[in-house]
Chains A and B, each alone.
Chain A
Amino acid sequence: MTNDRPPSTDTQGPLWEVFTQEEQGAPHRHAGSVHAADAEQALQNARDVYARRGEAISLWVVPADAIVASTPGDAGPFFDPGNDKAYRHPQFYKVPRGVRGL
């Protein structure tokens, strides 16, 4: 989980991850990334690249460096144990009709 990426050879400025919210109450979802020299430029670039056709009502931009990610090597210990215990999965309930957003 260490941030041991090689130094960037990118000449277009720091990378920012962009999250867009499509409607009130919906979660912000990862939309992509932009290059920008600072937060205001990142916000504007995100708007221009990912929200110019009215796709969003709110935007987050996060310096890509600030994101800590799991590595492929973590996949076994992190994610596999959940698969073979059926009782951990809430699939034995009937969801009443009319309930949305689950």
Chain B
Amino acid sequence: MTTLPPDVAAPRETPLGAPIVEFVLRLGDDRLVLGHRLSEWCGHAPVLEEDIALANVALDLIGQGAAMLALAGKLEGRGRDEDALAYLRDEREFRNCLLVEQPNGDFAVTIVRQFLFDAWSVLYLDALARCPHAELAALAARALKEDTYHLRHSSQWMLRLGDGTPESHERAQRALDALWRFTGELFEADAVDAAVAKQGIAVDREAIRARWNDIVSDVARRATLTPPDEPHMASGGRTGRHSEHLGHLLAEMQIVARSHPGAGW
């Protein structure tokens, strides 16, 4: 874990709620934040086809996030729906991992971030789709179908960028080096996970880590990329301690909803 400056490390995070609510919020926030990040590419992608492809992935993720936040709100039982959770929570109340809030950077950063997430997400959702919580399992099964395609798409770009021109290779390697330290958090398990595991919602992080390593090393090898040997992993997103980027993202994402409370069209 990296050392954060004092003002960031100060324990201002909101207290954790009921474990099952926290667990579902983490799932939903990952997807909402990554979906929003990808939506920033709309109209800016390198070619028209990729612009549409990234928008499709963004819409899939935002849809997944909305459904998961709706479930979190229901489980919480305080009358907050998915919109209230998406638009009216502050940075410290968001439970997404640090990886998904990292800025888009160049196209290689976006693709590497997506690939690292997709490879993890399909394994995580696959485990969750078999859990005894019926609603959660159904959401996971539906999301798994979408994320399986996302992984195919991002893997294809990993190969193309890594094994492409010297410049695309260098950018992809640089992105992999820069984002690697955010991958450790994906496999962390804390008290929330231990508590929901007692309800049968258990995802074996070590099993997932091993399979994720296999997927990532296989694609990296074929893409002529080298996963860095980076022992230091960043952490904190799951309890609301985020990098400086999330606040800016939320400011943009939430401004309309906050400026015009309850507005509709």
Q: Are B153 and A44 in contact (CB under 8 A)?
A: yes
Q: Are A48 and B152 in contact (CB under 8 A)?
A: no
The 0/1 profile, CB within 8 Å of B marked 1, for residues 34-50 of chain A is: 11110011001101110
What chain B residues lie within 8 Å of A12 (beta carbons)? Answer: 47-49
- Complex: how many Å from CA A47 to CA B156? 14
In this complex, how many residues of chain B approach chain A with their Cβ under 8 Å: the count is 12
A12-B47, A35-B47 known; A45 and B53 CB under 8 Å?
Answer: yes
Residue of B nearest to A53 (CB): B56
B160 at interface by CB-CB < 8 Å: yes
Q: Are A52 and B56 in contact (CB under 8 A)?
A: yes
A34-B49, A35-B49, A48-B49 known; A41 and B56 CB under 8 Å?
Answer: no
- Complex: how many Å from CA A80 to CA B19? 75
Which residues of chain A (41-68) have a CB below 8 Å from chain B? Answer: 41, 44-45, 47-49, 52
Known: A12-B49, A35-B48. 20 other contacts (CB 8 A): A12-B47, A12-B48, A13-B47, A35-B47, A35-B49, A37-B160, A40-B156, A41-B156, A41-B160, A44-B153, A44-B156, A45-B50, A47-B149, A48-B49, A48-B52, A48-B53, A48-B56, A49-B52, A52-B52, A52-B56
A residues near B (Cβ < 8 Å) are: 12-13, 34-37, 40-41, 44-45, 47-49, 52
